[in-house]
Chain A
């Protein structure tokens, strides 16, 4: 089977679940996450990805206590 490439994946975010705790921001090895100005319906400022810096390592998936991130197939 052909090994799948980085470009075949994307990170998605369920921002309605974010509670703005900042754990993902402190653990991202590429400095690709930042606490944005936007606030979700729960009233929390949400963490967003700077796509240009993101390496799709999914460390944010690992640390987020609120199931915000997923790494899925598809460009």
Chain B
């Protein structure tokens, strides 16, 4: 048995809503950075969304990118400070709507950074509008009758977009249970290890509840992830050490 201490990188209480998955993801990232000895040499790139609440509470150095452009800014930091660990931490609206080009081109160029993308299926911070990841038929404030994919196109699966690219590491995890969170930690560690060994671009997408804008209790939110989100966005490791897996 070992001690379980809150990582020191979490310098203040987080500012997320009750039950928000960002809190779980923050803690897992902090644990991994500390365990890898990267706490003092990491730079995070943030753009918009509830992710930005981390700037005051998560004790690494941060750089503020314009909406969507965290990958482009993060790549710039990495190129001038290659000894640093550089990661982007973005929501799905930020990274996959306005920022899709920057997200995808960092992967296409196999830039040696780590991208963490929080898939909660909506624009959380601005009040629950439809995002590229919103499920078919899902009600949001901008799709009150449910997302009509005959008009909007299908939900965007960033893992499938990146699977054919020559990148270092690709995985999708979740924070919907203790088991999922333990697996997520392995994925996030593998992603940072890929970067620190010069293994190229690493991306971890994380399925995460937004009880506030889903207008669900946490219990219902976790059921929704289990029953509705996971079948569309399956979990697993899809590229490891630059090689495609069977997942």
Which residue in B3, B19, B22, B182 is a CB contact (below 8 Å) of A73?
B3
- Contacts A19-B19, A22-B218; A63 near B178 (Cβ below 8 A): yes
Q: Does more than half of chain A's interface fall in helix, strand or loop, or is it mixed?
A: mixed
Q: How many residues of B contact A (CB 8 A)?
A: 28
Chain B residues with CB under 8 A of A58: 4
Chain A residues with CB under 8 A of B145: none
- Contacts A27-B177, A63-B178, A65-B23; A19 near B5 (Cβ below 8 A): no
**Which of B3, B10, B20 has the most chain A CB within a 10 Å cutoff?**
B3
CB atoms of A21 and B18 under 8 A apart: yes
CB atoms of A59 and B23 under 8 A apart: no
Chain B residues with CB under 8 A of A4: 1
Chain A residues with CB under 8 A of B20: 65
Give the Cβ gap from A58 to chain B, nearest Cβ, in Å.
5
Which residue in A9, A63, A66, A67 is a CB contact (below 8 Å) of B181?
A63
Residue of B nearest to A67 (CB): B6
Residue of B nearest to A62 (CB): B178
Q: Is B213 part of the contact surface with A, judged by Cβ < 8 Å?
A: no
CB atoms of A17 and B13 under 8 A apart: yes
CB atoms of A9 and B1 under 8 A apart: yes
CB atoms of B178 and A27 under 8 A apart: yes
Chain B residues with CB under 8 A of A38: none
Taken together as a complex, chains A and B put the C-alpha atoms of A22 and B221 apart, in Å, by: 12
Which residue in A5, A20, A65, A72 is a CB contact (below 8 Å) of B5?
A72
**Which residues of B line the A interface, CB within 8 A?**
1, 3-6, 10, 13-14, 16-24, 27, 175, 177-178, 181-182, 211, 217-219, 222
Chosen A-B contacts, 9 in total, with CB atoms closer than 8 Å, are A5-B1, A6-B1, A8-B1, A19-B17, A56-B1, A63-B178, A65-B16, A66-B13, A67-B10
